[in-house]
Structure 1
């Protein structure tokens, strides 16, 4: 019953119209719309409703109630936060600084399901921001991270769902900031939702099959640049059973469309062979044909081929390499991962086409990703690990997104190369997370068919360095130091931005479920638009 109530509360928060929460004049003047929240609603509803169903139907599916380890299989953790921020430069300008006091009210909820017909996790926050001693109007921001799988027919029919709402930079060369609550006109609330039903089974004792459809949509608030949707389908037939030498045949088609005009299609038919001489090694090759228009919007047939290698000497170490040749640009992925008992190291160098949902998953890019990887041995179940990592970061006073590089709204097909080195260390009293990343985004289409940054640039190069150090002063308090530097470059030296920020905070647990943070930061931005900003902040979060 409690899960059902929280599910309804989350859905109502997502569906609430801005005019019901803030003065209507503000939204009329800015012509805002609730579309980003509506896009993510489907996946959020799926997980919330599935959680309620799993608990209500525990007698049939055994999903609710405590597991054999004593942990509940459906875990709901509502919370409420109040944050006060004083800044001397709310509008992030060089002159005419707007000193202001920001009050942020943040109701939120985390839901995870570990067993039953629906499994996954959801974390949602609604941020209501009020500006005092400033002409800036009050606003609402949403933050959502949801992923789950619903097993609608036992071992046969599944639906995978993902949804997110986050703040992204509209331009790599616009104003950059570390605090999304500041009045930054270069910030866009970006919502993405994807659904992928799949049917899997066996063809006698000879082969396995998986038939999958997918649809996804991205919506950017206050703009059409970045709005996109994609649809596709794929079929894989592979050899059944275990053997040293296996085969598979893959057929897929995908269509992506950006609202600014770019539409692309990719269809392929490939065959692959995989050889596993022992438990540690796996080798593979593939070859096939493709038909695509990613390069110049003219459909062309071409050949594709590739090879891959994976070496896993232990559960803590993995080395992998994958290369594929395509007419529109080669793709590759080289990864090295290693976990120690209290630390983790990961390096990746990857290149892939980035067009709507063609992009591949990357290496860890945030505190959350790093510790989700590090705690894989400690908490094997993904849903339980999600809750564990979020609680760990909250008690350490670390932001889940602190290491994320300056993400920019996608505006068309590009070839994206990303290199990332990340390391995390959890000592007896000190926790350290550090990352260095470099991304080179190269335009595929002509400038006339591109928009945003790629209308005037053939490439956008971004580099990021970050360091977070958390030290436990007492069993219930810690000090945190965060340092971030981000750089962006275009085709010319004049098109560049630099952001440097340093912050220090004190985090304390006032009770079993109450956290308090007090801190200060200094930021400096250079390049096309430069500014300096200093701030102090206090945050109180009550978990229920």
Structure 2
């Protein structure tokens, strides 16, 4: 595992080496946090198996930032180590780690660019089980996921006629779960878009091909190799009816090569599109059409006023668990608050720092409410709706988000045989998730913030009678003592049900955290 974690850093290291001549200032900040928690159900076990106790958590880490004309880098790493009063409880772990790295680099002016990202995070194995709600020492229904993606690309301007881009991407996903080992993807794509010559009419053409090589475990031990692939080609035509309104038509072809459960895996794609930007603060993009799996729609709506931000997204697409790990689809909390703080803090770098400080002090999650991307080696038709709103007053900041997700499996159950076992073979066939999250933060003073966060989610299988629910309520009180030192006290109540066994679990906990930036 350690070797793979180190390999995940190579894409960022390569980009740093290429962009190093920029000689920009580096900002390296070591961090440390200590947390003491008392929980009446440390391992989120059901019924009389619940065990109470104290948990001590130590989390050293660091943040590395660099912003220059040549590249932008952000890199955050932390390692959490847990000690338990007495013996370690059932369903609890000794340590975990988290990493989030992002690099955007301009290697050759107006020609060669490089994007790279890497991550290590803790992921729910199944949507039908206990979910993380601040109790990150729990090992039940959890696995470590490691990802990286490196993507160099060329751009070229064909005078005023068109702009072109040729991109290659390599990505990798691996987990600690025996049922989902490792997969590597390679994608090449080309894009040609109309230039300034086309005023009222515009166009763009795109073609891509992806190949995924997977290591799939087999029952009885060992593993086998599997390759799947996809290709797509699309042509979009646009007409500028007004400076604010664009209307369009699109057509193309999609094709997937995997072991399916029946039905078409390729076919024509066609439909219409609309892009409306009535002001700098409001934009709407929508499509309606048909793809090989049936009707297809998308919506991206954003609106910003002085005190509110609104964001609504809907997509339907064929993808997989691994593709959502590489390119997540959730509404990013930082991006939402960045738009909210834009009127008060015009400078982008200062605003980004203020957003991160606020997220940390308020105890907000990195993304607003979204569906659980449970482990599976199968392809699926994924229909996802996310809606979020943030509202700011003089002393309070409120966020509300809802989501609905329907996932219909398209590829064979066989590839998940080790992951689920024969008795749960249909568990991930067709699922529906519905959830909501709300938070309200109140600042009585410049150095103190109190935050109440509520989260609710229901998950049900559309293939059998299994279902589960999750509820959590957290109250955080945070205070900043110096520029680099802060403390937080949290009260937490968690309850839910296990869809696999029909049992219920609850947890009540209190924790105190001291965080320092050196």
Q: Which residue is 1:82 aligned to?
A: 34
Q: Tell me how far apart the structure 1 counterparts of residues 34 and 56 of structure 2 sit (CA, whole Å).
A: 7
Deviation at 1:356, TM superposition (A): 5.9
Query: Structure 1's 401 and 155: CA in aligned 2 closer, same or farther, altered over 3 A?
Result: same
Structure 1 stretches lacking a partner, 5+ long: 1-32, 65-73
2:221 maps to what in 1?
none
Structure-1 residue corresponding to 2:130 = 175
Cross-structure match for 1:105: 58
Question: Is the Cα–Cα contact under 8 Å of residues 114 and 381 in structure 1 kept in the other structure?
Answer: no
- What TM-score results when the alignment is normalised by the length of structure 1? 0.83
Cα offset for 1:255? 1.7
Range that drifts further, 401-410 or 454-463: 401-410
What displacement does 1:40 show? 3.0
Deviation of the 1:473 alpha carbon: 2.2
> C-alpha separation between the residues in 1 aligned to 2:368 and 2:35?
17
- Which is worse superposed, 301-310 or 515-524? 301-310
Alignment check: 8 A CA contact 2:261 2:410 kept: no
Q: Distance in 2 between matches of 1:47 and 1:173?
A: 39
Matching residue of 1:273: 237
Does the CA contact (< 8 Å) of 2:33 and 2:514 recur in 1? yes
Coordinate RMSD, CA, aligned: 2.9
2:2 pairs with 1:34: yes
Q: Which residue of 1 aligns with 2:13?
A: 45
Name the SS of the counterpart of 1:530 in structure 2: strand
Looking at secondary structure, tell me which structure has more strand per residue: 2
Tell me whether 1:487 sits opposite 2:487 in the alignment.
no
How far did 1:537 drift?
0.3
| Aligned 1:177-216 pairs, distance under 5 A | 177-216=132-171
Contact 2:12/2:103 (8 A) holds in 1? no
TM-superposed deviation, 1:241: 2.2
Q: Deviations over 1:307-359 (max 9, x none)?
A: 22111111211111024532245543212211111221112222111136655
Correspondence for 1:437 among 403, 411, 423? 403
Shift of 1:492: 5.3
Aligned pairs (5 A) from 1:279-318: 279-294=243-258, 296=260, 302-318=267-283
**1:426 and 2:392 matched:** yes
Could you tell which deviates more after superposition, 409-418 or 128-137? 128-137
Change (3 A) 1:50 1:474: farther
- The correspondence for 2:106, drawn from 148, 151, 160, is 151
Query: Cα distance 1:154–1:250, how it changes in 2: closer, same or farther (>3 A)?
Result: same
User: How many angstroms does 1:300 deviate by?
Assistant: 6.6
Q: Deviations over 1:7-27 (max 9, x none)?
A: xxxxxxxxxxxxxxxxxxxxx
**1:531 is matched with which residue?**
505
Q: Give the 3 Å change call, closer, same or farther, for CA 130–532 of structure 1 in structure 2.
A: same
CA–CA distance in structure 1, aligned partners of residues 436 and 366 of structure 2: 16
Cα distance in 1 for residues equivalent to 2:404 and 2:442 = 28
Question: In 2, distance between residues paired with 1:79 and 1:222?
Answer: 30
CA contact (8 A) 1:43 1:146 kept: no
Q: 1:157 Cα deviation (Å)?
A: 0.6
How far, CA to CA, are the matches of 1:291 and 1:401 in structure 2? 32
What does the per-residue CA deviation read over 1:256-286, in whole Å, with 9 as the maximum and x for residues that have no partner?
Answer: 2443366432223332212223331222222
What's the CA shift string for 1:441-493, capped at 9, x where partnerless?
A: 11011333445569414211111111111111222112221111121111356
Structure 2 vs 1, CA of residues 367 and 269 (structure 1 numbering), >3 Å: closer, same or farther? closer
User: Equivalent residue of 1:372, what SS?
Assistant: helix
Aligned partner of 1:543 in structure 2 is: 517
- Secondary structure of the 2:130 match is coil
- Unmatched runs of 5 consecutive residues or more in structure 2: 217-224
* Number of corresponding residues: 496
